[in-house]
Amino acid sequence: MKTINFLLAGVGGQGVLMASNILASVGMLAGYDVKKSEIHGMSQRGGNVSSHVRWGEIVHSPIIPDASADFLLAFEAMEALRYLPMLRADSVVLMDRHQIVPVTVTSGDAVYPEYADIEGTLRQISPNVQWVPGVELAEEMGNARVANIITLGLLSTYLDVPESVWKQAIARRVPQRFVELNYHAWETGRKLRETVNA
């Protein structure tokens, strides 16, 4: 059984950790050994957040080695660019189009990269790069916070794990009253696969 490495990235407050909790639960319920690693601390205050999730027969290191991410999920448009050394030629990159502009840009010390440049840069490493209108679709559902679950829904189409396992993991991790909404978000994400070609 090959170890599968997921790297999740975003900005503090976006629910990166919730998404990685669900992904870890999915792995466990699917019978894998699972490890998940993240750094808390100052990230609540607008910093970038990342979480490593690994599924395998036996997982040793909680950290993914460089050039070994099978999947990179970026919940903010430019965040994927921070983790290029983790990617390899066949990595799948799913990235939300949503922008959270950092203070360094607001104050004029830096420039937010263009979408085309973000995508172009990633494509020079792997062809499997896909924008996800996660926040946009989530807002249509009335709750921007489920954007991550939409991306997880799309991710699920790349993995051989039954739908029931995903739903069980979601039900385990999100508050009761949001379970249906999250199922809907996950299904919406899953359907995206029909319209994208990554």
Residues near other proteins (CB under 8 A): 11, 24-25, 28, 33-48, 59-63, 65-68, 78, 81-82, 84-88, 101-114, 117-118, 121, 124-125
**Rounded to an integer, what is the distance from CA 180 to the centroid of its chain?**
20
Of the two residues 36 and 190, which places its CB atom closer to other proteins in the complex? 36
Q: In the complex, what is the shortest distance from the CB of residue 185 to other proteins, in angstroms, rounded to a whole number?
A: 20
Residue 142: partners with Cβ closer than 8 Å, 6 or more residues away:
none
Of the two residues 59 and 94, which places its CB atom closer to other proteins in the complex? 59
Of the two residues 124 and 180, which places its CB atom closer to other proteins in the complex? 124
Q: In the complex, what is the shortest distance from the CB of residue 46 to other proteins, in angstroms, rounded to a whole number?
A: 5
Of the two residues 110 and 196, which places its CB atom closer to other proteins in the complex? 110
CB under 8 A, 24+ apart: contacts of 85-91? 86/7, 87/122, 87/125, 87/126, 88/125, 88/126, 89/125, 89/126, 90/126, 90/128, 91/125, 91/126, 91/128
Q: In the complex, what is the shortest distance from the CB of residue 30 to other proteins, in angstroms, rounded to a whole number?
A: 13
Of the two residues 5 and 151, which places its CB atom closer to other proteins in the complex? 5
Residue 1: partners with Cβ closer than 8 Å, 6 or more residues away:
32, 56, 57
d(CA 11, CA 148): 12
Q: In the complex, what is the shortest distance from the CB of residue 184 to other proteins, in angstroms, rounded to a whole number?
A: 23
Q: In the complex, what is the shortest distance from the CB of residue 169 to other proteins, in angstroms, rounded to a whole number?
A: 11
